[in-house]
Structure 1
Amino acid sequence: MSNKALLLYSTREGQTKKILQYIDKELHDYQCDYVDLHTMPIEIDFSGYDKVLVGASIRYGHLNKKLYRFIERYKAELKDNNAAFFCVNLTARKEQQGKDTPEGSAYIQTFLKKSPWQPALIGVFAGALRYPKYRWFDKMMIRLIMTMTGGETDTSKEVEYTNWKKVSLFVENWQKQ
């Protein structure tokens, strides 16, 4: 196995990393290295990788500032390596409304306006509700958002909305890239 993939991520409760682990299993011919953008090393050497993927989650309508700092620092390397990007958010559970597409995701449209890096391949995946793991304030705020958007409001539940078939299709497209 000589192919290597660099999987970078920004996550809150771990669903983005879980999606990357699923992608890792789908990449049979690749050895994957993970880098958490919240605790990343000072320098990243992209030269040893055949594929680069960045995944990030939305919290309260925003991607983490560390993601944007990372992109600013490594925009040339991301472009040179034809890196792909995916965003994880709860709004993407509304597939019938197109909220799981780059064109239909307000978060991706904002990302593309703010980011100096414009990835050719972008995925949008529904995340997971982990009510029992949230702090009280987050639990109440997310419950309010779910009430307003017609989602799960029972704070004793955990609900995974990720469409794994959609993730697999993204991986197929990424491997062709």
Structure 2
Amino acid sequence: MEKVLLLHSSSDGQTIKILRHIESALGEGYQCELMDLNGLPTVDFSSYNRVLIGASIRYGHLNKQLYRFIAANQAALDKYKVGFFCVNLTARKEGKNTPETSAYMKTFLKKSPWEPKLQAVFAGALRYPRYGWFDRVMIQFIMRITGGETDTSKEVEYTDWHKVEEFAGRFSQF
């Protein structure tokens, strides 16, 4: 049985949901452990066969803790089997939903000293009723500018679960 560490930096839970879907897609041959990397955990990478990091974009940026985690674990990230994906609402649009076409992934790769060997970009979810007033107004404003959903009574999940499952297959072969 392979041990897999699923690390997340999630704002509203969609990144965790995607990691849980990957865990399910991997199946019974894998023992997965989910951990929040925003707490800057100490990780013994040698205890795992592979590691997957999922991080969400909030207001155009990845959490600073992700970069701190990478800085603290650079050698291990380069040495072990570690994949990375980011989750954002822009990826709901064709042409902005791959590592090569995502502005967020390009920015991440410029800012980070680590270049993951396995990368993906997934569309997130819009959960207006769950947001506080400020987030709801700001996200609605951003969605208006980008041609997205602005009805604050709606929840819309843009994640392409088939794409997530394909990535899980690549991750298992990685």
In structure 2, the residue matched to 1:60 is 59
1:66-81 equivalences in 2 (<5 Å): 66-81=65-80
Native 8 Å contact 1:9 1:56 kept in 2: yes
Structure 1 spans left out of the alignment, 5+ residues: none
The separation in 1 between residues aligned to 2:153 and 2:37, in whole angstroms, is: 30
Give the TM-score, by structure 2 length. 0.97
Native 8 Å contact 1:56 1:63 kept in 2: yes
1:119 aligns with one of 116, 119, 123: 116
In structure 2, the residue matched to 1:136 is 133
Deviation by residue 1:3-39 (Cα, 9 ceiling, x = unmatched): 1000000001100000000000011110001110123
1:1-177 equivalences in 2 (<5 Å): 2-28=1-27, 29-41=29-41, 43-95=42-94, 98-177=95-174
Paired residue type of 1:110 = T
Structure 2 spans left out of the alignment, 5+ residues: none
Paired residue type of 2:59 = Y
Paired residue type of 1:6 = L
**Cα shift at 1:82:** 2.5
- The count of aligned residue pairs is 173
Give the TM-score, by structure 1 length. 0.95
Q: CA RMSD in A?
A: 0.8
TM superposition outliers: structure 1 runs of 4+ over 3 Å: none
